[in-house]
């Protein structure tokens, strides 16, 4: 809104005055984080940014390191984006009491394609229970899939073969 009148008054093809190029900037890549959560039961919280929130799964046995295993991932509540930076102690008596440590974080790329080879938006993938993404972290680097089964909360995380 703030730059609407500025843009209206100028002919950028004829004048070299600056255009605000925000729109042309490369889109910021969505993020992921893996947090080791030493609570009542040790587990790993895997979170990926979808539409401005961190969709979150608790993975009891951690993310698979090979393509041969499937690991259970239980969908938990959405977390705010800021949670990706959180490390520390959740005090006794609070929800999730225990320590939280970041194992890895980085960005990811949506790699789930439709029949025509077009990328399916992440929010749509989430709803259909079939997510495929390429993690770009320090430790986690490669393609993974999250697949919903049985009920809304039960998912499997697998490491995919590199194509």
Return residues touching Mn ion (CB under 5 A).
37, 45
Beta carbon nearer to Mn ion, 48 or 110: 48
Beta carbon nearer to Mn ion, 47 or 159: 47
How far is it, in rounded angstroms, from Cα 57 to Cα 83? 13
What residue number has its CB nearest to Mn ion?
37
Beta carbon nearer to Mn ion, 37 or 71: 37
Closest distance to Mn ion from the beta carbon of 40 (Å): 10
Closest distance to Mn ion from the beta carbon of 43 (Å): 6
Closest distance to Mn ion from the beta carbon of 161 (Å): 29
Beta carbon nearer to Mn ion, 37 or 105: 37
Closest distance to Mn ion from the beta carbon of 16 (Å): 54
CB atoms within 10 A of CB 54: 22
Could you tell me the CA-to-CA distances from 111 to 9, 73, 85, 148, 160 in Å, in that order? Answer: 42, 20, 25, 17, 11
Closest distance to Mn ion from the beta carbon of 44 (Å): 8
**Distance in Å from the first CA to the final CA of the chain:** 44
On whether the CB atoms of residues 63 and 140 are closer than 8 A, the answer is yes
How far is it, in rounded angstroms, from Cα 86 to Cα 75? 19
| Cα 112 to the center of its chain, rounded Å | 14
Beta carbon nearer to Mn ion, 66 or 95: 95
């Amino acid at each position: 809104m703030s730059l609407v009148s500025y843009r209206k008054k100028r002919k950028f093809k004829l004048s070299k005055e600056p255009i605000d190029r925000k729109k042309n900037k490369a889109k910021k890549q969505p993020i992921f984080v893996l947090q080791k959560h030493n609570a009542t039961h040790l587990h790993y919280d895997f979170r990926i940014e979808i539409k401005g929130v961190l969709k979150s799964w608790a993975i009891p046995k951690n993310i698979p390191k090979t393509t041969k295993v499937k690991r259970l991932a239980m969908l938990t509540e959405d977390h705010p984006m800021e949670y990706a930076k959180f490390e520390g102690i959740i005090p006794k008596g609070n929800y999730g009491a225990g320590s939280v440590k970041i194992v890895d974080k980085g960005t990811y790329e949506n790699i789930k394609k439709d029949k025509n080879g077009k990328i399916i938006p992440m929010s749509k993938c989430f709803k259909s229970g079939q997510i495929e993404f390429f993690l770009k972290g320090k430790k986690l680097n490669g393609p993974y899939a999250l697949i919903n089964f049985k009920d809304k909360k039960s998912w499997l995380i697998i490491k995919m073969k590199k194509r």
